[in-house]
Each structure stands twice: as C-alpha cells, then as structure tokens.
Amino acid sequence: MRDFLCPNCGQRLAFENSVCLNCGNSVGFDLPTRSFRLVGADGATTDNGDPATMCANLAVAACNWVTPFGSPDGLCRSCALTRTRPSDDDTIALGEFAAAEAAKRRLVVELDELSLPIVGRDQNPETGLCFDLLSSEHEPVVTGHADGVITLDLAEGDDAHREQLRVSMDEPYRTLLGHFRHEIGHYYFSVLAEQGEARQRFESLFGDPDLDYQAALDRHYSQGAPAGWEETYVSSYATMHPAEDWAETFAHYLHIRDTLDTAAAFAMAPAGATLDRPNAGAAGFDRIIELWVPLTWSLNMVNRSMGHKDLYPFVLPPAVLEKMRFVHLLVAGDTV
C-alpha cells in the first residue's frame, strides 16, 4: 500500500482517511488513480472536475472511496461487490461489517494494481465475484468460496474470537485480510489455472484439484498434517487438499507483494519492489524473494524487540517457492 498525500496541503494520509487532519478537508480515495481527491460540501470531487460522490457506505461501513455519479446504489467498486450484508438494526454485526469492508478494500486495491480481472456478479451472474458478509451470531456461517461467491463470517472481525480460533487451530497467522486473500485465491484458480497448460502445470505442483474435498477435510481434521510438511507446504492447512495448497500459496504471494509495496513507499525496500513494477518472468520473482527475505527478517526482529511474536512466522522452502513462482507467472500473464 502506497504512502498517500492530501491533494490540498500535502499532509500524509492513511489509506483509511476520509478527512485530512491537517487542513480539515474531506477526501476520498479514487481507485482508478489510486490517490486521494478533495471532496466538496456537495459531495462532488473538486480537484479535477470529474463528477463523483462519496460511497453510500461512508456512514455504515466507514468507506472512504469515491464513486462516479450514476453508479448502482451509489456504491464504490469495492462495496458493490458485496452481495449480502447485515441489516441496519444489527448494530454488533454492522461494526464487524465495517472491519471486513476495510480489509476488502485493501484486497481490491492490490488486485487492481496487479491487473487481475475483477468480474462482478452483475457482469457474470453464474460465476462472477461477490461477497456474502454474514454474522454467525444468528446462524452458522462457514467462511469459504463457491463459484465466485466468497462467504466470510463477520465474527472474524472480533479480535478475541479470531485469536481463540487461531490458537485452537494451531495457526501462526489469522487475519481478516488473510481470509480475503485466501478465498480470492480459490476464485482465481478458475480464472488463471483451471484450463490448458496452466492446469497441467498446476497438477504437477499441487496435485489433482478434483480430489474428494470432504474426504480430504475429514482426514486433515482427524489426522492432522503429515510429518515433514514444512518442506513442501507454506502452512499445515495447505496440506489438506490441492485447492487449499493453491489458495494458501496465492494468499502468501499477495502478502509478499503488498508488504513489499508498502516497505518501498517508506524507503524500507528499493523502489523496484512496488506493485506498479511488473517484475516479469521467473527472474522477476527471484528478485521479489531476494527483497522479501531480509525485509521479513528485520521486521520479525523489530517485533521481537517490542515483545511481540514474529510478524511473518513462515518459512519458504524451495518447493513452496516453486509453487509461488507459478502463481507469479500466472498473475503477471507470463508463459508457465
């Protein structure tokens, strides 16, 4: 994520800002330019003359994005992807909904920067991308993906609930953004890797994605990860099924690219680490990892100095890097 500036006074802005704390002007994030724009009292952006308003979810989900006049429901590109959300009278779930939408906006920006196609349900009613953000406070909710529909249990926005699950499932890392990146990985399997030579290469690296999923799920939760899994998988959950191995690997690729992009914005990594630099081909991926390893080492040491656990508690053995290189080539549109 880049370092943003107020278009009026040049004050640094966080990605979540809707007001500049220095000059007091209202600002909105514009996805096409990936920058902030001034917003006038009438809701129209005033810095370049293009008509736009703040997203209709500004109040309900703290959405600080602008959206063009005439957009369906007055929603921005990210919020428009949400098919189901809590009702207005569910105050607890609405708070969790706002946290989920904030994480989803970060996801959408990264997908846009990587030039990955985002085809919504409005364009493809059968397999287009959409999000059902539901609360398990009222009914059972299983976070997952099916034919373009990503379901998220909003309880994951509660720190205590999420940490309890992380510990009980022996996971080193569990965040809302991580969930979104994992589930979007399932979606992009069908977009990037399900057909042709990509499918053949997928099977050589990950295995058969059509293996019985329920049987694999039952085996994983009854027997756990196989001994020595750390040599070939990025996480123990990735051992469960080839589809989960892909999704975990895809999510970690997104972690790496966005974190390097942020580090470069704050001079903690070279300018070539930014998402707008293609880093094409296998050599480009090698460069990304060359930058990533020392960065994570230093960040982990900083966390330890603050009394926290490692920020990035993962190891990337050669077999995992080979899988991630495949993801990189597909995302970059290179030959696999």
Q: Tens digits of per-residue pLDDT, 58-112?
A: 999 999 999 877 677 899 999 999 999 988 888 888 889 999 999 999 999 999 9
Quick one: pLDDT band at residue 161, thresholds 50, 70, 90? low
Average pLDDT over residues 232-260: 95
Q: What is the pLDDT of residue 269?
A: 87
Average pLDDT over residues 241-251: 97
Average pLDDT over residues 237-263: 95
Q: What is the pLDDT of residue 40?
A: 75
Q: Secondary structure of the chain: what % helix, strand, coil (to 5)?
A: 45, 10, 40
Residue 170 pLDDT > 60, yes or no?
Answer: no
Q: What is the pLDDT of residue 140?
A: 86
Helix axes 242-265, 91-113, angle to 10 degrees: 80
Angstrom distance (rounded) from CA 63 to CA 56:
8
Angstrom distance (rounded) from CA 143 to CA 146:
10
Angstrom distance (rounded) from CA 121 to CA 119:
7
Q: What is the pLDDT of residue 27?
A: 93
Helix axes 242-265, 281-305, angle to 10 degrees: 70
Is the full-model pTM beyond 0.85?
A: yes
Quick one: pLDDT band at residue 45, thresholds 50, 70, 90? low
Q: What is the pLDDT of residue 226?
A: 94
Quick one: pLDDT band at residue 49, thresholds 50, 70, 90? low
CA distances from residue 323 to 203, 205, 255 in whole angstroms, order as listed: 11, 6, 15
Q: What is the pLDDT of residue 41?
A: 63
How many CB atoms sit inside 10 A of residue 33's CB?
A: 10
Quick one: pLDDT band at residue 166, thresholds 50, 70, 90? very low
Angstrom distance (rounded) from CA 130 to CA 136:
19
Quick one: pLDDT band at residue 167, thresholds 50, 70, 90? very low
Q: Where are the domains of the chain?
A: 1-76
Residue 82's nearest CA partner among 53, 102, 111 is 102
How many CB atoms sit inside 10 A of residue 231's CB?
A: 10
Residue 160 pLDDT > 60, yes or no?
Answer: no
